[in-house]
Amino acid sequence: MYGLHQTLLPASAIHQSLFLPNFTPSTIYPPPKPHAALDVPEEKVVGNLVVAGGQGLRVFEIRETLEAATSPAEAISGNLDGDQGEESIGDGFFDEGHTKRAPVKYETRRKLHLLAQHELHGAITGLAALRTLESSVDGLDRLLVSFEHAKMALLEWSRGGISTVSLHTYERCQQMNTGDLQSYVPMLRTDPLSRMALLSLPEDSLAVLPVLQEQTEFDALEGFARDVPYSPSFVLSLSDVSPALKNLQDFLFLSGFHSPTLALLYSPLHTWSGRYQSVKDNYCLEIRTLDLSSGGSYPLLTSVNNLPSDSLYLVACPAELGGVVLITSTGVVHIDQSGRVVGAGVNAWWNYATNLKGDHSSEGRKLSLEGSRCVFVAERDMLLVLQNGDVHQVRFEMDGRAVGMIKVDESSSSVPAPSSVVVAGDKAIFVSCAEGDSLLAKVDVKREALPSDDIKEEKDDMDVDWDEDLYGDLNDPSNASLANGSKREPTGPATISVSPYDILAGVGKIMDIEFGIAATDQGLRTYPQLVAISGGSQRSTFNVFRRGIPITKRRRFNELSTSEAVWFLPIERASALKFKDIPDAERTTILISTEGNATRIFALSNKAVPEQIGRLTGRTLNAAPFFQRSCVMRATANEITLLDSNGKPIQLVCHQPGLPPIVSASISDPYVVVRRADGTVQFFVGDTVARSVSEVSLSENSDAPVCQVAEVFSDSTGIYRTFEPVRPVAQSVPVNGTTRSLAIRQGQQSRMQLTQQQIKRLQDQEPAISVDAPSMETTVNAARGSQWLALLTRRGELQIRSLPDLKVVLQSEGLGSSSPTFTDDLGDGATREEEREDEVVQLVFCPIGRNTVRPHLITLHRSGKLNAYEAQPRFTVDASAHTRRSLAVRFCKVHTQLLPITGGTTKLPYTIIPFADIEGQTGAFITGEKPHWILSSEAHPIRTFALKQAAMAFGKTTHLGGKGEYFIRIEDGSFICYLPPTLNIDFAIPCDRYQMERTYTSISFDPTSAHYVGAASITVPFQAYDEEGEIQLGPEGENLIPPTNQRSTLELFSQGSDPWRVIDGYDFDQNEEVLCMESVTLESPGANGGYRDFIAVGTGFNFGEDRATRGNVYIFEVVEIVGPRGKAGGSGWRLRLRTKDPARNPVNAISHINGYLLHSNGPKVYVKGFDHDEQLMGLAFLDVMLYVTSLKVFKNFILMSDLCNSFWLVSLQEDPYKFTTVSKDLQKVSPITTDFLVHEGQVSFVSNDRAGDIRMLDFDPSDPDSLNGERLLLRTEYHTGAPVTVSKVIARRKTAEEEFAPQTQIIYATSDGALTTLVSVKPARFKRLQLVSDQLVRNAQHVAGLNPRAFRTVRNDLLPKPLSKGILDGALLSHFALQPIGRQREMMRQIGTDAVTVASDLQALGGFW
């Protein structure tokens, strides 16, 4: 059997983060500004943030705005004053000044804005910043990324995206082949001056990559390419540097040194807490200089021995403070360049772990520093973020020039559980989290003012400052805050706290998943859903994923039950109602509905039934407001008509019966463009003063081009700008060469960050931005922004012309060829003559986003292919000179998909309808056979969400007083609907998120009651018992942190309008924790049909290492009770304990088979019957090897996975009751989950181990290698990239009418927050897609230059060659749609198929439930 592995929900856990001041040009050049008439705060980009988790790499801009800070009290008073209107002015016309007006306070706010997102073919292990020699020319930073298996890639930002400079691999070196890979932790470090990069390797070795920073270093290279910014790398063994350098724990570069200087933390001897009496303080620190220019010498600067045995990691200190900070599990240690050691304990275990003398004043904090992260935010102040998210300030108090004391303050704030913490610009940090949401936080620094001198010396005549006549006595306390005309900053001790700037949403590590059915308060089952529990260290989050965005109906709209298209227009009408929260420009007053060959016009109000005020003949193609919303422009197949505010015709703009009919029309006040059936285009312009519309020729010298699509659009974001024309310079090469050399010399003076002079030089080199002269239309319609005309010719050339001059500012074939990116790259007459095969039927320019919108270009092809391009600002010109104005925009493809088409042509054609501000969302809706929402947000990419049933008409309306309402006509009828306020569209699957008060580990769904049951884990002090059950006492002390463990509780959650509220629960014993929980169906004589649903729970006790563990099996039932009459809260659902069955070992796997309970008991598996709903009776058992990790049942077969010995295939016999071992997997692997994969009568067994490797096995007794069926045959191995935490098997049906599912589908949840799936593939389809994968490996460009095939290959020393051709890589196949049409055609020609067939194959295998 063959399979396809693909991602349903991309990983959102963040393990690595890095701040780069100048990674993209937007940090150097001024950003586009919206039109001045729009009330939008001015933005600037303060830097770039790069985050990585698993295989995902994301690049953000940090945008800063200055906004007025309003407190709630001020907002209330402001609203009261605003309601009074002009009457509050009184008799005086003029404002009386600021006597009663408080000064406006402004505050800085920062937001994350997504620029690029890539799924790489390798697990990212580190991020680092570099500045190469080219950085002095373009001013941009470079990004160094490390991957598993000892790889490094140097990346840069080029032409609107990430491009690969070089890839360095060390996977074939001796250390990787013979070293201990189990304990290998890759660490990537770079020198602060970008002279060197280091990557740790096994066997205490380092991979060294020297980076060239001087032009003379290029000239010294012999036999090596001189167009690369580095010299040959090599592997350095630390044993060659010093024989004592063993067991490297951490290393980092120090700043402030002339040569690259490295601090290394290592332990020559191993120890543990039980050997502290004999071996303690076994860590050492060395500071060495890595001087490669002198032949590879590594002189020792400082060596410190006898450091604490619980040392964790190092933190580099600022150059002003000097030295390095060592974080241990019990304290903080500072070591300066001379070897002076100063320590401070944060709990009383400091004296047990080390003999180092330290300050004990902070031991009362009782902190545990395992899993903590540190970052310096000031010269002598460091933020310490604990594993639970508490933030503590660490003060380094000076004694002269050296650190004299370390103080740890109380927790000042709380952030998410950190996986990394980095400084993100001035007074800001970014806290990445692998368990949920990450945080961009503001660092608030408040310093105390030191008391001024009370002693004043007498002044003689020579000491008199004559400026005191103007500025006063600067020593006077009343003038103490002024110095040189500005405030004197306090210089006392700082108090630092953290407050949120922006939140980057993420699912994080998934603990458990469960499918269920959402129910209303009346118990009606409405829609399926998937609940995923994320979190771990702090409170859990319940992520309720839905199949699509639900249609939440407010009321019916029966008057539009037959509408084919609707337009809700904000036309100014005297009789229209006004709403307080809805501006006039968004208040819909006129409704135009077309069906068949007629058009109806309604006047809208808040009444239930709208008033029809007109009826026109002809099917309306488009309608929009005109002449500042005073009229309506309507286009039909035969004419264009201008209507008044009541729907009455006032001007026939175009009526030419002899020409072909109009097939499409685009309207943007005061412009109209129409396209006829033969491809000809007509353009009309309205005169606002004369109130008339006339036709304007598109081309003066030649005929207008024959077009596929014509569109006129407006831009209010300011992204659409043009470069001024630049004339070619005669001697450009010498000038450019001189400029580059000068830039390199200036850049060498500041390698760490750009100076203001360098930024000014870079800005002056680029062409100026055009400034359009103001016109009548731009003055009257200032809030609309700039307007443009887009034409897509039959040859596939996209032309964008500026309005009103109709000058071409962009020509490109990129849209017609479906290129990943395109910009103004064609001259006149450079297009090809052949026509495109897949014609574009609709072209829409619309903003998409939430709060801050981004302009997009959406194209819909006749084949159903949907492409979305984001219009990104362009700051530099790719060509050396251009002779006309050029559009400063680069279009980057951000989404592509194939909309389903039945039988080659749709029953209902697709139409893209833009909308604005529906519950804060701006985007587009696609009506048709399979409708879709197109949405996005600032920090997340564009998403498309499908609806279950066809949609015939759509439109946004505000006539009922709500800003989040829209009209939709579906198969069920016509409705006014709204988006659910709790809906989250930041992820690939829409979901509702609920923050819980506790940490949960398991969840199950009870189908009878439609309620969820969760297992909560509470951290409690550990209590040790001896074999007789007596309490054992440990070390006692005032500031000792007691050991803790987990204690579980079972909780029943409510459903309906108030979901996920705990309504009942059950507390387990001390030290007892839930290990597994399942909804099981057991035999019950009193139930209808003889079976009843229960909740089965398996637990285990944690008694420590000195006492054997045990467990229990619990059977619960969710029952409904009815309380006494008149008693409030007596009715409801409750958990009822049916039985408790003790076990000698922990019960960590549980399931059911044929009405019997199946569970593990340490090394045994039992099957039991539920006797009279009261007790469990053993029927059969089976001895397994060591530790059962999962039990999966399919019909009468059981898959039992063992932690060390793979899995068994077992069947259950009922007469008599016994287990029969059918077959086994004889390889020594460690599976976490095993599942059945079924496809039309065939079955395969799939396991997933701790390394994230999928193994697919078959049972074939006819094969000689199977030993007569006793051995399962391994067919393929596939590396997923992340460990799997839980798996579920669901039925996969082709149609909803199928009673029996022909195949199954496996859903995996990973530790990185991803949801992946494995589906079976037919042999013919598999062979076709396998050839496509081979073509993509060879021909597609992969970010960082990684090999997709090598990433999915599993290393197996027992096989002569890898078995990697049984499972397709869905992530790789998704790149096929992003390839240009020419490359797709070439690849398909070699395979013997076409692109539409491949896209249809991928669509048939995609999705789930």
Three-state secondary structure of 428-493: EEEEECCCCCEEEEEEEEEECCCCCCCCCCCCCHHHCCCCHHHHCCCCCHHHCCEECCEECCCCCC
Name the residue among 1187, 1179, 1222 with its Cα closest to residue 1203: 1187
- At 798, give phi and psi (nearest 5°): -95, 125
Count CB-CB contacts under 10 A for residue 790.
22
- At 194, give phi and psi (nearest 5°): 60, 40
Query: Would you state the pLDDT for residue 94?
Result: 44
- At 832, give phi and psi (nearest 5°): -85, 160
Query: Would you state the pLDDT for residue 1365?
Result: 87
Name the residue among 555, 604, 559 with its Cα closest to residue 579: 604
CB within 8 Å of 1249: residues ≥ 6 apart: 1229, 1230, 1231, 1232, 1255
Cα–Cα dist 424/426, whole Å: 7
∠ CA 281-282-285, nearest 5°, is 100
Name the residue among 996, 1036, 1172, 1030 with its Cα closest to residue 1106: 1030
DSSP element (H, E) containing 1151: strand 1150-1153
CB within 8 Å of 82: residues ≥ 6 apart: none
Name the residue among 260, 241, 264 with its Cα closest to residue 251: 264
pLDDT in tens, 867-914: 999 999 988 876 655 678 889 999 999 999 988 876 545 578 899 999
Task: Report the largest interatomic distance among the alpha carbons of the chain, rounded to a whole angstrom.
Answer: 117
Regions in the chain scoring below 70 on pLDDT = 35-39, 70-103, 215-227, 294, 449-492, 519-526, 700-703, 726-753, 767, 770-783, 826-837, 878-882, 902-906, 1123-1131, 1294-1299, 1408-1409
Written as six digits, the tokens of 429 are: 């940090």
CB within 8 Å of 716: residues ≥ 6 apart: 34, 35, 38, 783, 784, 785, 847
3-class DSSP assignment, residue 1339: helix
Cα–Cα dist 205/555, whole Å: 69
Q: Which amino acid is at 746?
A: Q
Strand 2-9 to 1367-1369 pairing: parallel
CB within 8 Å of 1393: residues ≥ 6 apart: 1328
Q: Which amino acid is at 355?
A: N
Q: How far apart are the first and last CA of the chain?
A: 21
Query: Would you state the pLDDT for residue 454?
Result: 43
∠ CA 453-457-463, nearest 5°, is 120
Query: Would you state the pLDDT for residue 473?
Result: 52
Place of tokens 């659902």: 1133
Cα–Cα dist 645/137, whole Å: 59
Cα–Cα dist 553/287, whole Å: 68
The residues pairing with 613 across neighbouring beta strands, listed in sequence order, are: none
Residues in the chain: 1409
Which of 418-453 are b and which e, b meaning 16 or more Cβ less than 10 Å from the residue's Cβ?
Answer: bbbbbbbbebbbbbbbbbbbbbbbbbeeeeeeeeee
**In Å, how far are 1011, 1061, 1063, 1130 from 1122, measured between CA atoms?**
17, 19, 14, 6
**In Å, how far are 1115, 1158, 1201 from 1096, measured between CA atoms?**
5, 10, 19
- Give the CA dihedral 1137, 1139, 1144, 1150, nearest 10 degrees: -70
Written as six digits, the tokens of 955 are: 């439109």
Q: Which amino acid is at 85?
A: G
Count CB-CB contacts under 10 A for residue 755.
13
Name the residue among 478, 480, 323, 330 with its Cα closest to residue 403: 323
Which of 78-115 are b and which e, b meaning 16 or more Cβ less than 10 Å from the residue's Cβ?
Answer: eeeeeeeeeeeeeeeeeeeeeeeeeeeeeeebbbbbbb
Query: Would you state the pLDDT for residue 742?
Result: 54
pTM for this entry: 0.90
**DSSP structure class, residue 291:** B
**DSSP structure class, residue 350:** H
Please report the DSSP string for 956-1005 in residue order.
Answer: E--TTS-TTEEEEEETTEEEEEE--TTEE-SSSS-EEEEE-SSEEEEEEE
Contact 392, 384 (CB under 8 A): yes
Contact 1086, 1173 (CB under 8 A): yes
Q: Which amino acid is at 1019?
A: T
1397: left (phi over 0), alpha (psi -120 to 50) or beta: alpha
Name the residue among 568, 570, 694 with its Cα closest to residue 629: 570
- Count Cα atoms within 13 angstroms, Cβ side, for 843: 24
Name the residue among 1390, 1403, 1381 with its Cα closest to residue 1331: 1390
Place of tokens 């700008």: 721
Contact 88, 43 (CB under 8 A): no
CB within 8 Å of 1247: residues ≥ 6 apart: 1201, 1206, 1207, 1225, 1229, 1231, 1233, 1234, 1235, 1254, 1255, 1257
Cα–Cα dist 112/437, whole Å: 13
Place of tokens 């005169």: 687
Cα–Cα dist 1164/1183, whole Å: 5
Give how far the C-alpha of residue 68 lies from the chain's centroid of Cα atoms, to the nearest Å: 29
Cα–Cα dist 1341/1295, whole Å: 37
Which of 1344-1353 are b and which e, b meaning 16 or more Cβ less than 10 Å from the residue's Cβ?
Answer: bbbebbbbbb
Contact 513, 530 (CB under 8 A): yes
Q: Which amino acid is at 333?
A: V
Query: Would you state the pLDDT for residue 466?
Result: 46
Instruction: Give the 3-state DSSP-derived string for 292-347, with helices as H, strands as E and coil as C.
Output: CCCCCECCEEEEEEEECCCEEEEEECCCCCCCEEEEECCEEEEECCCCCEEEEECC
Query: Would you state the pLDDT for residue 1082?
Result: 94
Please report the DSSP string for 121-161 in residue order.
Answer: SS-EEEEEEE--TTHHHH---EEEEEETTTEEEEEEEETTE
Contact 1110, 1162 (CB under 8 A): no
Query: Would you state the pLDDT for residue 82?
Result: 41
Q: Is 289 exposed, middle or buried (0-12, 13-18, 19+ CB in 10 A)?
A: middle
Cα–Cα dist 818/1378, whole Å: 8
Query: Would you state the pLDDT for residue 232?
Result: 87
